[in-house]
């Protein structure tokens, strides 16, 4: 299953980032996906702190990942500016609430008291 996901991801990476590295083939992007997935896992495995906020973590991850795919610096800066304009905490909260709601429906448990009200 993991190999299927990685190969599907590689196809998308090739489609999106292939123009920046025309000498590479889809297989190359499959191999590059191992590194970008590991990079993501590394950032996800380390919790946010007061000094290393969610926003800083996302900025560092995106910068390293896009540079690995040779995205031009001006495009990278546009992505970072776009991300800076998003309320990441609200987005993350919404995603987690939806995930918990779906799990509660599937596994028949209550979320009362688990999620903040509002």
Tens of pLDDT along 10-47? 999 999 999 999 999 999 999 999 999 999 999 999 99
Q: How much is the average pLDDT of 47-65?
A: 94
Centre a 10 Å sphere on the Cβ of residue 13 and count the other Cβ atoms it contains.
Answer: 20
Task: Identify the pLDDT of residue 114.
Answer: 57
Secondary structure of 82-95 in the HEC alphabet? HHHCCCHHHHHHHH
- Helix 73-84 and helix 54-68, axial crossing angle in degrees, nearest 10: 160
């Amino acid at each position: 299953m993991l190999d299927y996901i990685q190969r599907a991801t590689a196809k998308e990476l090739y489609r999106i980032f292939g123009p920046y590295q025309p000498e590479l083939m889809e297989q190359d992007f499959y191999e590059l996906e191992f590194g970008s997935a590991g990079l993501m896992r590394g950032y996800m495995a380390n919790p946010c702190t007061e000094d290393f906020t969610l926003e800083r973590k996302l900025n560092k991850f995106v910068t390293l990942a896009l540079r690995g795919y040779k995205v031009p610096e001006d495009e990278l800066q546009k992505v970072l500016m776009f991300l800076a304009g998003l309320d990441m905490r609200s987005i993350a909260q919404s995603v987690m609430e939806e995930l918990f709601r779906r799990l509660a429906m599937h596994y028949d448990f209550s979320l009362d008291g688990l999620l903040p009200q509002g």
